[in-house]
Amino acid sequence: MSIMYSAVQPSGNLTIGNYIGAVRNWVRLQSEYDCFYAIADMHAITVRQDPAELRRRTLELAALYIACGVDPEKCALYVQSHVSAHAELCWILNTLTYVGEASRMTQFKDKSRNHADNVNMGLMDYPVLMAADILLYQADHVPVGADQKQHVELARDLAERFNSRYGETFKVPQPLIVQGEARICSLQDPSKKMSKSDENPNASVFLSDDRDTIIRKFKRAVTDSDNRIAADAEKPGITNLLNIYCAFKGCTMSEAEGSFAGMGYGDFKLAVGETVADVLAPIQAEKQRLLQEKDVLASVLNAGAERAFKAARKTLSKVYRKVGFWRE
């Protein structure tokens, strides 16, 4: 099968947007590709983290993935820092990366603005480490949203640059833009993507939110001036709620609109909240069960790291020979 690589940072709580746009697709894609799924703790420390909190979130994220349906028998699920080759290849790729192209990365500029008191070299090097993540496993495809496509383009450029200088070594990865998934937007500002770092606590629904919290957030969601429940560019609040409902209910937009025809906004928002809560409840219960079996989680992550290490070391050894590092 073709190889696919993807990773998510264990920083902040994942939102229902992350679930629809990323995690749920991981579950589907693991049957179609040879998948390497990483918990990107090395990327996470480019902004300040509480060490104990980072360790806790790393284990919780592993439990969440498995609870959502990620199967360690079908993929390599591992912690990024457990495979040192990520950092080693990053250093090699740094020597091929121009300061100008690194400083132009959108995420570097955004994080520099948001963390002005901690503009460190890790922020600038973030896309190079991401390129190392991808190229280590000779990934054919990388599932990304439109906002991450720039990083895959850098990985492609570095692969081609290395291959041109040292000979054919890396596959040139292709971004895999998942089609058909609606963009999940903020409940308070539907012009923005739902974010786990939004300062407004009512803007995002987290996978860790309990049922009452989920329903309360949907009841407070921004709607529109008239009471017609229909998808319309002029009705971004209602359209966003309909998209969320369709994603969690598994129905079409026309089916959703028919279900809510003539219904008031209050009942509509309650129905959306209850639908989301119903889907998340068994996931949350399974996650808590797994967290009670930390030795099992550790075994899963260690096995994933061992599989990832073997694949990564094969690539890194080839790279070291190509650049001229002496080995017996």
Residues with a catalytic annotation lie at 111, 193, 196
CA terminus-to-terminus distance, the chain:
33
Q: Measured between alpha carbons, how far is 126 from 139 in angstroms, rounded to an integer? A: 18
Q: Give which of 191, 216, 184 is closest to 201, Cα–Cα.
A: 216
Q: Measured between alpha carbons, how far is 94 from 77 in angstroms, rounded to an integer? A: 26
**Torsion angle in degrees (nearest 10) through CA of 181, 183, 184, 190:** -150
Residue 38 has φ and ψ, to the nearest 5°, of: -115, 145
What's CA 48's distance to the chain center, in Å?
Answer: 19
